[in-house]
Amino acid sequence: MLLEGKVAIVTGAGSGIGAESARRFAAEGAAVVCADIRLARAEETAQAIVAAGGRATAVEVDVRRAADNEAMVNAAVQHFGGLHVAFFNAGTIRPGNAVKLSEDDWDVVMDTNVKSIFLGAKYAVPVIADSGGGAIINTASVSGLRGDPAGIVYGASKAAVINLTRCLATDHARQGIRVNCICPGAIETPPVQRMLADPAAAEATGRSHLLGRIGRPSEIAAAAVWLASDESSFITGEALVVDGGLTSRAALVNMGDPRPRKD
């Protein structure tokens, strides 16, 4: 019970990493505010937690809006009496390069992936501090560490999340708040599954990870729980890569390798 007695917010809790993390936080003892722009999906996650004996409530949140972020934090206080952990996980992706990507798509991704964390922290930090301190975890990506084809805004947004994490960690350490982010590789979430609908693409993507497969939402949830808990009490300002070895291998991996090239 790594989060016994804690109150947590998880954004993007209606599916994928967010839903799995909300359930895992609750299983570890936290009361969870399940936030999603799709209220019905957030309610499904909250109901599953309650059915399993946990505590949870659902809120509809557009993470790009200040008022929604404020209401989300207020819900944690109203329902559970405080806030100790915020997992700012909500995000989106729009493919395209600088020539083809529209300005509207740029703004949607930057607002959803970056501005949302700024707004979430604006309202969460004072309440976490008043609750005795705690942790903020942000979902970044290995795309914030490397360049992806046709991924100009997603990569830029996730790189921004990484340094935003460091800035928040620097600003709020003296308030007892640790701030870290997770950089997943390819994970079995609905957007990734749609992009990998072609079996050949799915197989090639799996092979690009040293472990030979893409990751599971539960594996990111496990990392998030650890970063939220006192087990990681001396870690802040860190970008934790959870990518099955995707970024560990050089592009020239086959040079000097006598085995037949398969990729």
Which CATH number belongs to the domain containing residue 88 in this structure? 3.40.50.720
205 lies in some domain: no
19-55: pLDDT as tens digits: 999 999 999 999 999 999 999 999 999 999 999 999 9
- Any domain includes 32: yes
- CA distances 145 to 52, 173, 206, Å, are 38, 24, 19
Q: What is the pLDDT of residue 262?
A: 54
- 66 lies in a domain? yes
pLDDT digits (tens, 9 = 90+) for 199-220: 887 787 888 889 999 899 999 9
Integer Cα distance of 193 and 184 in angstroms = 15
pLDDT for residue 190: 74
Cβ pair 72, 121 in contact under 8 A: no
Q: Which residue has the tokens 């037949």?
A: 260
Assess whether pLDDT exceeds 60 at residue 254: no
Please report the pLDDT score of residue 84 as a whole number. Answer: 98
* The pLDDT value given to residue 109: 98
Residue 79 lies in a domain: yes
Catalytic entry in 87, 154, 192, 225: 154
Structure tokens at 251: 């592009």
- The string of pLDDT tens digits covering residues 147-176 is 989 999 999 999 999 999 999 999 999 999
Total-model pTM: 0.93
Domain annotation covers residue 197: no
The answer to whether residue 185 is domain-embedded is yes
Rg (alpha carbons) of the chain, rounded to whole number: 18
DSSP string, 38-80: SHHHHHHHHHHHHHTT-EEEEEE--TT-HHHHHHHHHHHHHHH
- The CA-CA-CA angle for residues 226, 30, 141, to 5°, reads 40
Range of the domain at 40: 7-189+216-242
The total domain count for the chain is 1
Query: Is 154 considered catalytic here?
Result: yes
Q: Is residue 198 part of a domain?
A: no
The first and second tokens of residue 204, run together, are 């090639």
